[in-house]
Amino acid sequence: MTQEMQINGFIVHKGVIDALKWYKKESGKRIPSSAYAVFLSSLYQRHKDNNPRGILKNFHLPEWAKTTNVLYSSFYHGYKWLEDRNFLKEIILKDGSPARVITDWEQFSNPEKTGEDLNYFRVPFALFETDFLASCVRTSNSEGIELLLQLFDQFRVKIADVIQKGGNLDLNKLHLEFNMKTLKTKLGKNAKGVRETLTLFESLFDVKYHGVSMRGKQLWVKKVIFYLKPICVKENSDTFQLSPIMQKLNQELTYVLDGMGIKYRPVDASQTMFSFQQEIVERLKYIQDLESATYNQRDQWLKNFFLTTLDQVSEQIQKVQKATGKFSFHKSIGGYFRIAFRTQFFRLFPGIRKKFPDLLINGYWLEEKETGRPAKITELYSIV
């Protein structure tokens, strides 16, 4: 694997997990394994909905119980446990439709508003292709799920550390070690119980035992080493560092649509962002700051452009609503915004389409295509 490797999964903000840990510590009670199964399912659903505010419009309990292979009665019990303690809430949206929301998700997604650092790890999609959650629920093994989350969090730190030091990531060398005493404490089991639990982890990790010996008729293990399996990772192709700005703009989009009471599906928001990616971002993704090899000014321009276009679309929708009492997109929301983005871009740069398809501004070309060197931003930052 190259140093662009990352966990192939959905985001889990450390803050939401810390809230569960705090409850466990303060109450002195274990968290039901079924509650963890439901909570992880809700986080996966949030990823599918692509909703940066943690709003779940399509979180159907029977479907997720079937996906996780957890009995519906257990899954529902886990959901009620989370709801009763305010980790998940039912809400009514402005358009009158019911939904659920992951408590404080929006807060943890906007560190600039809270003054806290953005802190998250990823749980592989592959988890839901295994029987791990169902097995933990059947055996009331919430500690097994807690260890699983800790492993993915610590592997995230390991991967980031290797990348920061400029090293190459190798799954055969990337590992985490625990001595048996630590695992017995974390899982609340004896050595045999630990080994039985670790068989569940073998679907996602290569689990190696070191310092194995026999003492009488008992098997002793000194330490356990975990290696990520390839099914858990992917190549990170975000060469131009676009993911952070695109996530923020997607959040702004949902604010506007929800604020106007516009009914939309997750696919509508995804198609709108895809339109923005194709019509605008692809033209500008190469552009770096003049002083350094960063994309700060490019990102600021993209944000200003996106918000300006959103404001114009919002004004048009409100104008039609005021005149007729209603508004509807004739075709698709994504298609509507595609035209808006394209129109706004060529209004700012009227000569580009006819003269130079790859031209950005004032005769400045995308050097990346011609020379392999990153282009530098010129007057683009001051346009919008």
> Could you give the percent of the chain with pLDDT greater than 90?
42
φ/ψ (deg, to 5) at 364: -90, 120
Quickly tell me which residue has 């949206």 as its tokens.
Answer: 93
**What are 329-338's pLDDT values in tens digits?**
766 788 888 8
Please give the model's pTM, rounded to 2 decimal places.
Answer: 0.69
pLDDT-derived band at 342 (thresholds 50, 70, 90) equals confident
pLDDT recorded at residue 380: 40
Distance from C-alpha of 171 to C-alpha of 76, rounded to nearest angstrom: 38
| pLDDT grade for 241, boundaries at 50, 70 and 90 | low
**How far apart (Å, rounded) are the C-alpha atoms in residues 198 and 183?**
10
User: 3-class DSSP state for residue 221?
Assistant: coil
The DSSP secondary-structure symbol of 278 reads I
Q: Residue 80: its pLDDT value, please?
A: 98
Spatial separation of the C-alpha atoms in residues 272 and 246, rounded to whole Å: 11
The confidence band for 145, taking pLDDT boundaries of 50, 70 and 90, is very high
pLDDT-wise least confident of 26-30, 37-41, 95-99, 162-166: 162-166
For residue 66, the model assigns a pLDDT of 93
Which one, of 188, 193, 182, 192, lies nearest residue 223 by Cα? Answer: 182
Q: What is the pLDDT of residues 252-264, one digit of tens each?
A: 888 888 887 788 8
Q: Is the pLDDT of residue 235 over 70?
A: no
**Lookup: tokens for 350:** 């009227």
Averaged pLDDT, 188-192: 93
Place of tokens 């997750």: 266
Asked whether residue 367 carries a pLDDT value surpassing 80, the answer given is no
pLDDT of residue 236: 59
Lowest-pLDDT range, 12-21, 41-50, 173-182, 302-311? Answer: 302-311
Query: Where on the phi/psi map is residue 86: left (φ > 0), alpha (ψ -120 to 50), or beta?
Result: left
Tell me the two tokens of residue 313: 């679309």
Answer whether residue 278 shows pLDDT above 50. Answer: yes
Residue 242: its pLDDT value, please?
60
- Predicted local distance difference test score (pLDDT) of residue 292: 62
**Which of 85-99, 212-226, 271-285, 288-302 is modeled with the greatest confidence?**
85-99
Residue 155 clears pLDDT 80, i.e. is over it: yes
**Longest distance between any two alpha carbons in the chain, whole Å:** 87
Higher pLDDT, 244 or 187: 187
